[in-house]
A and B are shown apart, each in its own frame.
Chain A
Amino acid sequence: MAEFGVSTPSVGVAGAKPAASTGKALSVVALRKTYGDAVAVDEASMEIAAGEFVTFLGASGSGKTTTLMMIAGFCEPDSGTITVGGRDVTRLAPQKRNLGFVFQQYLLFPHMTVGENVAFPLQLRGVPKEEIRRRVGQTLEMAGLSGFAGRRPRELSGGQQQRVALCRALVYRPPVILMDEPLGALDKKLRDQLQVEIKTIQQELGLTVIYVTHDQEEALVLSDRIAVMRNGRIEQFDTPRELFERPKTAFVADFLGAANFLPGRVEQQSDAHTLVRLDHSGGLLKTRRHDLAAGVAVTVAVQPGRLRVCPPDDGFCTGTVETATYVGSVVRAGVRIDSRDTSRDTSRDTSRDTGRDTGRDTGRDTGRGAPLLRLEVPAGRGPVTGERVGICADPDDVNLFPGEQGR
């Protein structure tokens, strides 16, 4: 189905663009939606390749669902264009877009059996009876629902119902399948299991999927690329690795990895590295080269998992271990940094509240002046409470953002 739209390259207004040759499944250009004065989606643009699994990740109100609804056609954008397989669908009704949609609430038709539900989109397309039977059987089998064709949706568990909804959305092989928090109503264990199933099916069939969630872990597990959304804008659209290791904004760094933030000033710039003088400890921290002039105020961001404990003299700062919690494979530690000047520390809280609601579990700095760094170190030789330690980080793992960011 990747060749959708190939045969008619002249379809749509955007005839200037070569429609199919790029392998683009979907592109969104400068999409904008307002509700009264509130901007729900602000100039969102992206291109999605065929066979790609893309996730819109963000807190509620970030515009991720509105964007999805505009792609599906349930909500009309104020401006911008949506192109599916080279065809401009921006002003088309949902039923004319030939997309698949999986809803959080399953929305199986209660008066039809499981089989009839899955057959429904095929019937709409005038597929011959015999083939409908075959394809419904095939699809249900793939989802492990072979024996369920004759059942009513309400006789099924939540997980099974969502599998049926999935079958119903992909049985007619739409070029793009949209999923709106499809696992949001399920419990954790089932969610993990279905994530794997969805990913497997997507890869096997080479489906193009746009997935909406507020769960970072889910996004990381599933996606080829993630669009991190905030206040109606796409903060960054990248692979999980890039987002994690090269966040473009402090928000992304905090949202995905719950980064540690420390204020500082660029001390020196070399060809390969940037040196930062930290405000609190006065220590020098080496990072990979960022294009920043010396003297510029910056915010340093490091993921808890990328900090290491080292002998006090080797680290870019020293501190005292305040908490050390054993959580299986790693120990989560909170290290209170030694300050060179305690008097001015009280006003500066390091870890700014960028994503208070993003599910962070380590204790926050409760305003005792010096910042508390959160570490995740291998459980084997974890630090002990009360121990004095140095903190190290690989220059490549340290990200810098100009100014006092992360608010």
Chain B
Amino acid sequence: MIGLRSTLAGRIALTAFATVILLFLALPIVVIVITSFSKSAFASFPPDSFSLGWYQALFADGSKWPGALSLSAVIASLSTVFSLILGVTAATALTRSELPLRSAVYALVLGPLIIPHIVTALGLFLLFEPASMLGSPLAIALGHTVMASPIAVMILIATLRGIDERLEDAAASMGAGRLTIARRITLPLAAPGMVAAAIFSFITSFDDFYVSQFLSSVGTLTLPVQIYNSLMFDIDPSVTAVSALLIAFAILALVLVGLVRWLGSGRQNALLSVETATALGAPGKETP
């Protein structure tokens, strides 16, 4: 590689600094996972002894967590479906047609990513409150879709742009109709992108706090709202176990996305590469 040779001391200093920062980025996550197996009630580190007590407490009778978990899962599933529908149609419109006001549509679709979430959440609250839909899981799912669909659109736009449009022309030249082309050519090729879009939409909804907090009622507290309340108001040690589960869930989802992308790309790149890592972080190439 052509570049500049740096001094040894400079390199060591930079590497050491980077290591420390990376350590500090990883540590909060590691600490939670370890603490979740701690026996003591207080989240001290390192724990004195280990047990599965907090995990058992999660599912004990009268625990609020299973309800919150399933509510969040239902809402996230709903908004994943909504986001995929909106995402596929919008991405198709933006990549495969002549759209008037194209850039305006683009800006509108990506808008929710840029506007502060709290403002979007406030707006949704002002919309649903008069309709007395606060606390409705459907309302929360609809709200989450506002946040999740732009991510789905971005991923799917990148996916569709990555599929050579002329492959569809080739199929048409052989006599394939519009539907056949979609079913036999575009859909199979877009499948990895669609899986990624679904997973990221799900995560976005599942982790959303702002919209959930504004739209939930006492009966319908999503998992993040429940976690927030636990941290803010009542110190419930089982929150560490919930957090650890969420971490495991997120990592699992990312591994899944990475795997699907890798398989979809025909295993051309190394499974673990900077490209795949950055692609994870910027689904559909995020440009602010």
Contacts and interface: CB of A to CB of B under 8 A. Distances in A.
Contacts of B174: 95, 100-101, 120-121, 124, 168-169, 172
Interface stretch (A107-115, A189-197, A342-350, A358-366): A107-115
B180 interface: yes
A275 interface: no
Contacts of B266: 110, 152, 154
Contacts of A152: 266
A158 interface: no
A120 B173 contact: no
Interface string A102-127: 01010101110000000011001100
A110 B166 contact: no
B154 to A, nearest CB: 23
Contact of B166 (A100, A105, A111, A168): A105
A94 interface: yes
Interface in B171-219: 171-177, 180, 184-185, 188-189
Interface residues of A, number: 27
Nearest to A107: B170
Contact of A121 (B166, B169, B175): B175
Contacts of B169: 74, 94, 101, 103, 107
Q: Which of A73, A96, A98, A107 has the most CB of B within 10 A?
A: A107
Interface string A85-105: 000000001111011110101
B9 to A, nearest CB: 47
Contact of B170 (A73, A96, A101, A154): A101
A109 to B, nearest CB: 6
B171 A120 contact: yes
Contacts of B170: 101, 103, 107, 109
Contacts of A121: 174-175
B177 A95 contact: yes
A103 B166 contact: yes
B61 interface: no
Nearest to B181: A95
B187 to A, nearest CB: 10
Given A94-B173, A95-B177, A107 B164 contact: yes
Given A111-B189, A152-B266, A94 B166 contact: no
Contacts of B52: none
Interface of B: 164, 166-167, 169-177, 180, 184-185, 188-189, 266
26 contacts: A73-B173, A74-B169, A94-B173, A95-B173, A95-B176, A95-B177, A96-B175, A98-B175, A101-B173, A103-B169, A107-B164, A109-B167, A109-B171, A109-B185, A109-B189, A110-B189, A110-B266, A111-B188, A111-B189, A120-B174, A120-B176, A120-B184, A121-B175, A124-B176, A169-B173, A178-B173
What are the 10 tightest A-B residue pairs by CB atom distance, in nearest-first order? Answer: A101-B173, A121-B174, A107-B170, A94-B172, A95-B172, A111-B188, A95-B175, A124-B175, A107-B166, A94-B173
